[in-house]
């Protein structure tokens, strides 16, 4: 079964609901809101044998504690974007998410699914979190460790499986808030039934005037605020076709713009997703199945600048004016049961194509050259899993095979004025077959405890961005590498956990090896004086780690929770990257610790406190740019004014801690958001 740590808030709300009823007062608005969610019949049960692996589940109550889904997911230690920034301030190209701090990556080493549809960008592998407001999501299931089985390519350090809220009669939830730094947000979701069709829709809009990432002592005229604007909308239609079959159609859209913190720099992104799912729910007598088709269409523009000495000004360095990308795919699955045996078989296909179009080489007040770089990646696979579950014992095994192929790779550089081509490179097409698998055993004891062990293998093909596109950030230049091999991860783990009275806990010790790790390797100095890097398969990253979480309901109206993730990751370098031997991967902290408490001193008043500590990390592969440890404290108070309405006040980073996110070659440090206080009203029937 999944970790129970993050159902703490929902459990506390249920307790206080009973407390409220005894006092004759209104219950907190979300006390029964979570329980009213209707799960779509088009979603098959969780993969067979799932309980043998390290799984953490966040329900709607836990996800609603933050306005941004990536922030909410960081309640699970070891989950993070490439840098310490969240998706409000992070450039879209570094919003890929990773688990276990084995080797964070801008492209991300975790697969993100929304009801089976991959949400990772077709060109870069990152995730645009603006497209996934928490009001749209009912549940997040985080599977730590390489995904074989139904997860396929990309589930290298784990999988984040999101479930959209079920259709409801009316508003499911709504939230309006505003606060410091010119921040406001409005979001809502809900549904209605029209004849045989159940509709569900969500929409969100958000803005922030931002902050200066550089402190006054190092700040110059080149530095500007990290402002943000973003919005999204989605619509789903669900129809019961009879004989247990359901048809689901969904479309979603997002649009966002942000500043880079440097004058003239910034990024915009927009995209469209669509999916069609036909499914039949499993019964005791018949197996269930699902057929699904989907597409993702995205575009990104990104302007980067170089910074003059003393930070007195900036100069345009690169204008990535368009990055059209299209990903589409199909998947099919069937599962069933015969006595204590459970089985699942399936296949999937993903086809990604995209191209970066940009102007570069700025001189005399204008860009002189144009560059197009991109290609195509196709990945197709099939899998089978079998589990034997007696209640006391769970044994599971799965195998998978994926074929990957690159084609149409190109890098063309030409003069903007004349159109004359100065460089044309067409890397040869490549392909390969990758077998993976996973095994798990779990023993459940009568006293509520369990022991489990698991072993697994997974892989991630390089993104089109990593294969074909060179880029520049500030004065640092990174070159692409069309010869990159897919990354593979091999690992094993043991776990122990259980429930005793009002206390529950889960622990896992693991060893993972990330083989042929793709990283940006420093190979010299750029023409602008920064670092010159190239994406390379830098060798292996060996990681030994421990994860643990615990909750305790100390009083009917007071509970605490804590979690820790410790990962000692080291590079065992290839000959081409010998300078990295023994070093820690860039942006990989050793320790992350979270703790918090939920207290209801009065029936209508809920108070929560959350602390997050992260140890020091390095900003670069050579471990020469150190980012110190970070400790933040968040507080929130909710006051229920009616059964469906509550007001809240939240203080993020209450102590105004300086959270270092990056340091450049000149020693200038960038920082994440300062203290921010906000207030809002929430409706959750």
User: Is the confidence at residue 41, as pLDDT, over 60?
Assistant: no
Q: What is the CATH number of domain 5-683?
A: 2.40.170.20
How far apart are alpha carbons 191 and 164 in whole angstroms? 12
Q: Side by side, which strands form the sheet with 110-114?
A: 54-59, 137-144, 158-164, 110-114, 117-118
User: Is the confidence at residue 521, as pLDDT, over 90?
Assistant: no
Arithmetic mean of pLDDT, 169-180: 94
φ and ψ at residue 5, rounded to 5 degrees = -55, -45
The percentage of residues in the chain with a pLDDT greater than 90, rounded to a whole number, is 74
Secondary element (H or E) of residue 71: helix 69-73
- CB-based contact 79:73 (threshold 8 Å): yes
Residue 678: pLDDT band with limits 50, 70, 90: very high
- CB-based contact 107:227 (threshold 8 Å): no
Residue 615: predicted pLDDT? 96
pLDDT digits over 247-266, tens only?
Answer: 999 999 999 999 999 999 99
- CB-based contact 70:129 (threshold 8 Å): yes
How far apart are alpha carbons 503 and 561 in whole angstroms? 10
The percentage of residues in the chain with a pLDDT greater than 70, rounded to a whole number, is 93
pLDDT digits over 10-39, tens only?
Answer: 333 333 333 233 333 333 333 333 333 333
Residue 271: pLDDT band with limits 50, 70, 90: very high
Arithmetic mean of pLDDT, 1-13: 40
User: Is the confidence at residue 479, as pLDDT, over 50?
Assistant: yes
Domain boundaries, the chain: 5-683
Residue 527: predicted pLDDT? 76
How far apart are alpha carbons 502 and 493 in whole angstroms? 27
How far apart are alpha carbons 456 and 157 in whole angstroms? 11
561: three-class secondary structure by DSSP: strand
Using CB atoms within 10 Å of the CB of residue 70, give its burial: 0 to 12 exposed, 13 to 18 middle, 19+ buried: buried
pLDDT digits over 305-347, tens only?
Answer: 989 999 999 999 999 999 999 999 999 999 999 999 999 999 9
């Amino acid at each position: 079964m999944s970790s129970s740590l993050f159902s703490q808030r929902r459990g506390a709300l249920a307790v206080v609901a009973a407390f409220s009823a005894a006092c004759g007062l209104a219950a907190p608005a979300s006390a029964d809101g979570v329980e009213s969610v209707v799960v779509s019949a088009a979603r098959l049960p969780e993969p067979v044998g799932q309980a043998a692996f390290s799984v953490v589940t966040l329900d709607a109550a836990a996800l609603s504690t933050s306005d941004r889904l990536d922030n909410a997911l960081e309640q699970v230690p070891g989950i993070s974007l490439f840098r310490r920034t969240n998706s409000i301030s992070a450039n879209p190209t570094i919003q890929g998410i990773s688990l276990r701090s084995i080797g964070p990556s801008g492209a991300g080493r975790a697969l993100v699914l929304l009801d089976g549809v991959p949400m990772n960008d077709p060109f870069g592998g990152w995730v645009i979190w603006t497209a996934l407001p928490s009001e749209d999501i009912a549940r997040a299931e985080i599977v730590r460790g390489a995904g074989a089985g139904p997860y396929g390519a990309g589930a290298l350090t784990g999988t984040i499986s999101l479930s959209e809220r079920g259709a409801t009669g009316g508003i499911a939830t709504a939230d309006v808030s505003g606060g410091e730094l010119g921040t406001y947000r409005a979001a809502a979701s809900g549904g209605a039934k029209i004849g045989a069709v159940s509709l569900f829709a969500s929409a969100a809009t958000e803005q922030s005037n931002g902050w200066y990432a550089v402190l006054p002592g190092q700040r110059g005229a080149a530095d500007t605020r990290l402002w943000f604007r973003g919005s999204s909308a989605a619509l789903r239609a669900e129809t019961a076709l009879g004989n247990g079959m359901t048809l689901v159609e969904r479309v979603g859209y997002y649009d966002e713009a942000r500043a880079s913190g440097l004058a003239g720099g910034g990024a915009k992104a927009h995209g469209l997703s669509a999916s069609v799912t036909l499914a039949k729910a499993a019964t005791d007598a018949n197996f269930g199945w699902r057929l699904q088709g989907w597409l993702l269409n995205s575009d990104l523009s990104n302007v980067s600048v170089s910074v003059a000495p003393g930070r007195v000004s900036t100069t345009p360095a690169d204008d990535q004016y368009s990055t059209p990308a299209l990903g589409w795919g199909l998947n099919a699955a069937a599962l069933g049961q015969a006595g204590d045996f459970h089985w699942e078989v399936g296949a999937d296909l993903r086809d990604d194509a995209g191209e970066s179009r940009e102007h570069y080489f700025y001189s005399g007040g204008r860009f002189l050259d144009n560059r197009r770089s991109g290609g195509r990646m196709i990945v197709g696979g099939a899998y089978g899993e079998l589990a034997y579950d007696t209640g006391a014992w769970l044994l599971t095994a799965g195998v998978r095979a994926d074929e990957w192929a690159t084609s149409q790779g190109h890098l063309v550089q030409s003069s903007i004025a004349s159109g004359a081509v100065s460089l044309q490179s067409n890397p040869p097409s490549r392909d390969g077959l990758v077998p993976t698998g996973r095994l798990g055993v779990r023993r459940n004891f009568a006293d509520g405890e369990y022991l489990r062990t698991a072993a697994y293998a997974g892989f991630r093909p390089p993104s089109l961005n990593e294969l074909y596109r060179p880029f520049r950030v500030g004065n640092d230049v990174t070159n692409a590498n069309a010869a990159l091999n897919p990354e593979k991860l091999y690992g094993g783990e043991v776990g122990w956990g259980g429930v005793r009275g009002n206390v529950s806990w889960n622990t896992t010790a693991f060893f993972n090896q990330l083989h042929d790790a793709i990283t940006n390797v420093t190979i010299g100095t750029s023409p602008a004086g920064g670092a010159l890097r190239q994406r390379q398969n830098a060798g292996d990253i060996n990681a030994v780690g421990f994860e643990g979480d615990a909750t305790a309901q100390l009083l009917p109206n007071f509970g605490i929770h804590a979690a820790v993730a410790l990962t000692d990751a080291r590079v065992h370098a290839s000959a081409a990257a010998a300078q990295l031997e023994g070093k820690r991967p860039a942006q990989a902290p050793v320790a992350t610790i979270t703790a918090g408490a939920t207290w209801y001193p009065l029936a209508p008043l809920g108070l929560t406190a959350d602390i997050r500590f992260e140890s020091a990390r390095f900003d670069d592969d050579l471990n020469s740019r150190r980012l110190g440890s970070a400790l933040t404290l968040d507080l929130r108070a909710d006051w229920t004014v009616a059964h469906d309405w509550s007001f809240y006040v939240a203080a993020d980073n209450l102590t105004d801690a300086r959270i270092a996110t990056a340091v450049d070659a000149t020693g200038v440090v960038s920082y994440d958001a300062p203290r921010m206080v906000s207030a809002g009203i929430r409706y959750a029937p």
